[in-house]
Amino acid sequence: MKYIIEICVAIDIAILGIAYPILIDKISNIGQKYNSEYLPNVFESEYPDKKIIGRISILQIILIFTLISFVFQIFSFAPIKCFENNSLIENSADILVFIFTVFLTFTFFLWVNKIMLYQGKASELLKYLIIKHNTTENDDQSKTYLLKTINEFSLYAIEKQDIHLQESLLDFYFKQFQEYRNKELEYPFDLYNITYEIIQTGINNSNTKLKALEHRASSGNWLIGESFQFSKIQPNTYKWLWRNLVLSSSYNKLISNYWSSSSQYFNYSLQNVMPEYDEKGIKNIDEINKVEKERNMFLELNYALGGLLYYKSNYQSIKYILSFSQTQPPSYPLLPQTMDEIFYWFNHFSNEFKTLDEPIDYKFYFPELDNLGTSRNISHNICLYISILFVRQFTQNTIYIYQNFKIFHNLTDELQELYSYNDRLPYFKNCITTILDNGKLLEVLNYKIKKDEVLDIFEELSNRIKEKIDLTKLNAPISTEKVSQFANVSADIISKAFDEYKIIQNEENFENIDEKMISSINGELILSSKSSFTENDIPHLNFDSVYAHHIANNKIKYFLPNSFLIARTEKYLIERKQLIEGLEKIIGDVENIIIVGIRINYETRELINNSKYKSQIIEIASTNNYLTDTFFVLNKIDLPKFESKELLAKEIEKFNLKEVNTEYKIYTNVIDINLPENKILKDEYITSDDEELKVLLLISFIFLIKWKKNRQVVMLSLTSPFQERGIANKIEDLKQITASR
């Protein structure tokens, strides 16, 4: 052991006094090269830089213990008598220093190698991060940081035109998107977002070398897939596809990337299913309907794209999509083949009642058209694009003898559809006139047609529609039976929606109400088709319940749980696997605590069911996706108080409302605003686009939610790979709730 202590001390001093400060400076610069916010977080999860006690890392712990081992060298402690003359015990101080020094040196070199990796070649670091990401558990927060870091490498590669990173990135993203698509799951937020950021970065930089990366993002291949089998597009994917298209809409190359890819997807992944028959009829009707629904949703997106291009005056891109074909003779899968299809889609986009559940201006926003005063311009521009498709029919060359692109083959037999068609004929004709007067557009498209030839078809079409409509039904009286059914069903749905939340109502009638926290949920009125409430007309499925379900889901089950979000006094975000530990930290030994859980998923429920808090959980429903896996911890005496308030007498009189539920003071009515006595209401609520076939539906109530002033409501959310929620708190950040006051 001669000189061993001197050597160990020299090594420890060199590491602690010279190398360690230099490397700390190097660590502080990790991420700057790639302009990365998350690479330092990834490095902090590496051994030995991982924090285990507050902000103290494993390496720092080893350094501390190494220094402590010198204490036995400074103070010579005599061994216990029974261990005297034992060489191992007598030299234990030297051995201890030696062991800790060897361990420190080994760990230090591992640390140096990690720093060299993170500060070295971008291609090697990227491959390492990809491997680390693929081997990390899905519920680990570090996996989210890894994905964010890889995304930052993608943007770095485009900005710096680093071609060496492209192949690894393409392979990584292909596998990631395919994995979620095969499971029919929504992609995580960061996978959606990177497609948008790649397009944006490519536009802002002169991207000449990484075209493959830009193509995968702008074409939508990652989002919709390249399979030749049926592939369903998730609702959130449609939203991000549209965001990408809005960004790409001014660039012809990006639009052509998307259109060629989407045409192939529609042709192969969404190809029509041939019916198979047995003795009972078509046996694969469910599969046919499933594919047909997906086809219509995808076509809706692409017709909206045409409207966006027209709005941006990008006529060159419109020319490209109107002439793009991958077959001979040419076929245009994303364009209508007949006048019937054109009229169907024009009616779809111009009739706001067809998209009442999810308005067109919400699904397909246009740049600078995002407020109430201009939102109808979105539907108008899409209708103008469909009008271009109408004019295009007069330029088509027939290939087969039976083809005639200028006639309507089969008008629908649905009376309500015919009403809608008839209502929109003047508007459709006006849109066609607008297109025919746009000389610049027609010049780019090389359309040379006679204006009268196109417009004359509307007179014939109008007569055909009117022949199919039974005019006597226009004056059909409102059915008292249907009105009564609407009232009873509405009262049942609304009251049951409120009943679900009785479990969280405060049993005490407290007085110290926080006036600023009082929120209300009110009823609504809406215009609806009159034919829903008349006899001997087209039956409307769920006419008596759809409006009440809309209020129950979009108001009661949205705003009532949201009152906890507004009333919270503390807010924390932790990893899912730390849920029980977090509840223990917040609740401690405080009694009379309840936990209100909202939108608890399967994995989280398993954690709760296996814990001591199972009996304290009260689960409530919510239609707010943001509140998924969210818990509110509070004393029972801090629960909210509910109050159903009586309507104003003048409102009851104005709409002749009938009370259908006394507990929640719910009133309803169906008013035929076409009657002379209701002319004032008609003038107040009817729009210029509406005619006589409308009624006014009312479901009226006032429901108040009240909170105490001195409440304690702790919000505890869990991290998710599918939703950006911010940086997670550490367990040490959580504070215990106080006892009942």
- Give the tens place of pLDDT for each residue, 365-397: 888 776 555 667 889 999 999 999 999 988 887
Write down the pLDDT at residue 374. Answer: 61
Q: Which domain holds residue 97?
A: 4-120
Selected residue with higher pLDDT from 348 and 675: 348
Lowest mean pLDDT among 127-141, 310-324, 428-442, 650-664: 127-141
Lowest mean pLDDT among 131-145, 279-293, 460-474, 671-685: 460-474
Does residue 201 form part of some domain?
no
Answer yes or no: is pLDDT of 80 > 60.
no
Report CA Rg, the chain. Answer: 34
Does residue 526 form part of some domain?
yes
Lowest mean pLDDT among 100-114, 201-215, 578-592: 100-114
Considering the domain architecture, whether residues 287 and 340 belong to the same structural domain is answered as: no
Considering the domain architecture, whether residues 349 and 488 belong to the same structural domain is answered as: no
Write down the pLDDT at residue 327. Answer: 80
Answer yes or no: is pLDDT of 325 > 80.
yes
As a whole number, the mean pLDDT across the chain is 85
Write down the pLDDT at residue 472. Answer: 43
Answer yes or no: is pLDDT of 354 > 90.
no
Does residue 210 form part of some domain?
no
Confidence band, pLDDT 50/70/90 cuts, at residue 96: confident
Q: How far is CA 145 from CA 45, 129, 131, 132, 176, in A?
A: 10, 10, 14, 11, 15
What's 254-310 look like in SS3? HHHHHHHHHHHHHHHHCCCCCCCEECCEECCHHHHHHHHHHHHHHHHHHHHHHHHHH
Write down the pLDDT at residue 468. Answer: 67
Token pair, residue 208, equals: 């000449």
What's 197-218 look like in SS3? HHHHHHHHCCCCCCHHHHHHHH
Write down the pLDDT at residue 401. Answer: 53
Does residue 234 form part of some domain?
yes
What does the pLDDT average to over 654-676? 91
Selected residue with higher pLDDT from 470 and 524: 524
Burial string for 293-329 (b: 16+ CB within 10 Å, else e) reads ebeeebbbbbbbbbbbbbbbebbebbbbbbebeeeee
Side-chain half-sphere of 122: how many Cα atoms within 13 Å? Answer: 24
Q: State phi, psi for 573 to the nearest 5 degrees.
A: -130, 125
Answer yes or no: is pLDDT of 189 > 90.
yes
Does residue 587 form part of some domain?
yes
The residues with which 702 forms a beta bridge, in sequence order, are 522, 645
Selected residue with higher pLDDT from 400 and 8: 8
Does residue 619 form part of some domain?
yes
- In angstroms, how far apart are the furthest CA atoms of the chain? 118
Q: What is the dihedral of CA 329, 334, 335, 337, to 10 degrees?
A: 60
Contacts of 241 (CB under 8 A, 6+ apart): 220, 223, 224, 233, 301
Domain boundary among the residues 333, 351, 367 is at 333
Does residue 608 form part of some domain?
yes
Considering the domain architecture, whether residues 286 and 323 belong to the same structural domain is answered as: yes
The residues with which 717 forms a beta bridge, in sequence order, are 573, 630
Task: Report the SS3 class of residue 226.
Answer: coil
The residues with which 524 forms a beta bridge, in sequence order, are 699
Confidence band, pLDDT 50/70/90 cuts, at residue 262: very high
Considering the domain architecture, whether residues 714 and 616 belong to the same structural domain is answered as: yes
Write down the pLDDT at residue 537. Answer: 67
Listed ranges 191-200, 332-341, 725-734; the one with the highest mean pLDDT: 191-200
Among 353, 337, 404, 294, smallest CA distance to 543 is for 353
Answer yes or no: is pLDDT of 84 > 60.
no
Token pair, residue 58, equals: 């494993």
Selected residue with higher pLDDT from 237 and 34: 237
What does the pLDDT average to over 102-121? 82
Write down the pLDDT at residue 479. Answer: 86
Task: Report the SS3 class of residue 89.
Answer: helix
Q: Tell me how far the alpha carbon of residue 671 is from its chain's centroid.
A: 38
Considering the domain architecture, whether residues 44 and 14 belong to the same structural domain is answered as: yes
Selected residue with higher pLDDT from 4 and 501: 501
Count structural domains, the chain. Answer: 4
What does the pLDDT average to over 420-444? 90
Write down the pLDDT at residue 473. Answer: 54
The residues with which 698 forms a beta bridge, in sequence order, are 525, 669
Considering the domain architecture, whether residues 290 and 347 belong to the same structural domain is answered as: no
Write down the pLDDT at residue 148. Answer: 92
Write down the pLDDT at residue 60. Answer: 75
Contacts of 382 (CB under 8 A, 6+ apart): 303, 304, 306, 307, 349, 360, 364
Answer yes or no: is pLDDT of 566 > 80.
yes
Considering the domain architecture, whether residues 704 and 578 belong to the same structural domain is answered as: yes
Contacts of 585 (CB under 8 A, 6+ apart): 731, 734, 735, 736
Answer yes or no: is pLDDT of 232 > 80.
yes
Answer yes or no: is pLDDT of 409 > 70.
no
Task: Report the SS3 class of residue 611.
Answer: coil
Q: How far is CA 539 from CA 59, 347, 526, in A?
A: 74, 20, 19
CB atoms closer than 10 angstroms to residue 728: 18
Considering the domain architecture, whether residues 484 and 623 belong to the same structural domain is answered as: yes
Write down the pLDDT at residue 511. Answer: 84
Write down the pLDDT at residue 691. Answer: 56
- Answer for the pair 397, 349: CB distance below 8 angstroms, yes or no: no
- Answer for the pair 616, 593: CB distance below 8 angstroms, yes or no: yes
H helices present in 473-599, as ranges: 480-499, 546-551, 557-567, 579-587
In angstroms, rounded to a whole number, what is the distance separating the alpha carbons of residues 142 and 133? 8
What does the pLDDT average to over 203-213? 88
Write down the pLDDT at residue 683. Answer: 84
In angstroms, rounded to a whole number, what is the distance separating the alpha carbons of residues 528 and 678? 15
Burial string for 426-440 (b: 16+ CB within 10 Å, else e) reads eebbebbeebbebee
Contacts of 446 (CB under 8 A, 6+ apart): none
In angstroms, rounded to a whole number, what is the distance separating the alpha carbons of residues 382 and 300? 10
Considering the domain architecture, whether residues 609 and 520 belong to the same structural domain is answered as: yes
Answer yes or no: is pLDDT of 16 > 60.
yes
Selected residue with higher pLDDT from 232 and 255: 255
What does the pLDDT average to over 255-274? 90
Considering the domain architecture, whether residues 465 and 494 belong to the same structural domain is answered as: no
What does the pLDDT average to over 638-664? 93
In angstroms, rounded to a whole number, what is the distance separating the alpha carbons of residues 17 and 108? 13
Confidence band, pLDDT 50/70/90 cuts, at residue 337: confident
Per cent of the chain over pLDDT 90 is 44
Confidence band, pLDDT 50/70/90 cuts, at residue 405: low
Considering the domain architecture, whether residues 545 and 401 belong to the same structural domain is answered as: no
Does residue 212 form part of some domain?
no
Q: How far is CA 371 from CA 220, 368, 374, 375, 565, in A?
A: 28, 8, 6, 6, 26
- Answer for the pair 143, 30: CB distance below 8 angstroms, yes or no: no
Residue 728 φ/ψ region, left for φ over 0, alpha for ψ in the -120 to 50 degree band, beta for the rest? beta
Per cent of the chain over pLDDT 70 is 89
Confidence band, pLDDT 50/70/90 cuts, at residue 355: confident
Lowest mean pLDDT among 56-70, 392-406, 443-457: 392-406
Write down the pLDDT at residue 42. Answer: 85
Considering the domain architecture, whether residues 329 and 341 belong to the same structural domain is answered as: no
- Give the tens place of pLDDT for each residue, 481-526: 999 999 999 999 999 999 999 999 998 888 888 888 899 999 999 8
Answer yes or no: is pLDDT of 76 > 90.
no
